[in-house]
Structure 1
Amino acid sequence: MVLPILAWVFTGLLLVLLLTCVAAARGSLRRNRWFGVKLPALERSDAAWRAGHAVSVVPAAVAFVVALIASILGLFAPAIYWVTIVAAVGGVIWVFVRATRAADRVTP
């Protein structure tokens, strides 16, 4: 019973991550103390903040779509919920790596 709930919570969190990356990449979500991908490389400058979030849109979207499909399929075959968990963990790692690399390429 816990696995389906966890899978759907992770799917929702991936959606929040995706929307955050889109908003920050567009400039709607400016660098702040409370919300966004909070990595030291992204906190260095506004340009690093936007660059890091911009390259994170694709990995966040891929992870969200995979998690959503797996969560829906999990309604019929509960073992597939594990794919959601793997997609969430892998997606967040992918976002962090790409965001850090992009922010590091931005000159201060």
Structure 2
Amino acid sequence: MIIPATVLTVLAVLLPIVSALCAGGVLRRNHLVGIRFPALQASDAAWTAGHRAAILPSTVLAVLAVVLLVLSYAVPALALWGSILTMLVAIAGFAWGILAALRAARAA
């Protein structure tokens, strides 16, 4: 259970990094990297606004997922439930970041 939690945590850490690269113009609108929903693909302004909005919520929950994962590794008694909680937090980070991105992209 701890391996899937580790993989999801790594992906949760990558989301705010990729979002920052997209919001900063390093990664332009494309079909390979970034949050690729139609609302964000609609224009360069929507792409930038959406990714900018995803940075904070995805960062907050990525940091929490890392803390929970470290605890899962450090305290064997927490391995199972810590891993499950880590995965839920990572998934919540994806959802919150994507929802924030979609709202901002539609408003752009």
Answer yes or no: same fold by TM over 0.5: yes
How far 1:83 sits from its partner (Å)? 1.5
Aligned to 1:54: 52
Aligned to 1:92: 94
Q: Distance in 2 between matches of 1:60 and 1:8?
A: 16
Unaligned runs of 5+ in 1: none
Unaligned runs of 5+ in 2: none
* 2:51 alignment partner AA: H
Aligned to 1:74: 72
How far 1:89 sits from its partner (Å)? 1.2
Q: Distance in 2 between matches of 1:96 and 1:15?
A: 14
Tell me how large the CA RMSD over aligned residues is. Answer: 0.8
How far 1:31 sits from its partner (Å)? 0.3
Q: Distance in 2 between matches of 1:22 and 1:49?
A: 11
Q: Distance in 2 between matches of 1:11 and 1:85?
A: 7
Aligned to 2:8: 10
The number of residues matched between the two structures is 104
- What is the TM-score when the length of structure 2 is the normalising length? 0.93
Runs of 4+ in 1 over 3 A off after TM superposition: none
Q: Distance in 2 between matches of 1:98 and 1:86?
A: 18
Q: Distance in 1 between matches of 2:2 and 2:33?
A: 27
2:30 to 29, 32, 50: 32
